[in-house]
Amino acid sequence: MIGRLNHVAIAVPDLAEAARRYREMLGAEVGPPQDEPDHGVRVVFITLPNTKIELLEPLGDASPIRGFLEKNPSGGIHHICYEVDDIIAAREHLLATGARVLGGGEPKIGAHGKPVLFLHPRDFNGTLIELEEA
Ligand code: CO
């Protein structure tokens, strides 16, 4: 059911500094910062030949990544995103096989303008999984 790795998301305490490191030290193609108020994050996309990296900084007091950064003050891998062809069919399969879909199970529009869902990390070895309709 899952297809390509769409991106790996890394929560960071200082987005400008993290973007600078990827640009200057790793020589990566780094995009401009984008605010995603619906998700409580400010994002920078890094385009690699085979996937993307998303650097995430909290946006607003209720940001869902604030708690993560309190536990991991220097940042860390926050989630990985797999592509699926049909997000509703994927959700139905996951629910039928006993997985927990976060946020009531209704897809939200993600940072790439496509519907996304998140799966409970306890069901997948401590990894927060995002599914994005390709
Ligand atoms: Co993501």
pLDDT at 110: 83
Catalytic residues: 130
Q: How many distinct structural domains can be found in the chain?
A: 1
Q: For residue 79, report the distance from its CA to the centre of ligand 1, in Å.
A: 7
Q: For residue 11, report the distance from its CA to the centre of ligand 1, in Å.
A: 10
Q: Which domain holds residue 107?
A: 5-133
C-alpha 63: how far from chain center: 13
Nearest-angstrom CA–CA distance, 37 and 5: 24
Average pLDDT, the chain: 96
37 strand-pairing partners: none
Residue spans of the chain under pLDDT 50: none
- CATH at residue 55: 3.10.180.10
Q: pTM for the whole thing?
A: 0.92
Q: For residue 21, report the distance from its CA to the centre of ligand 1, in Å.
A: 20
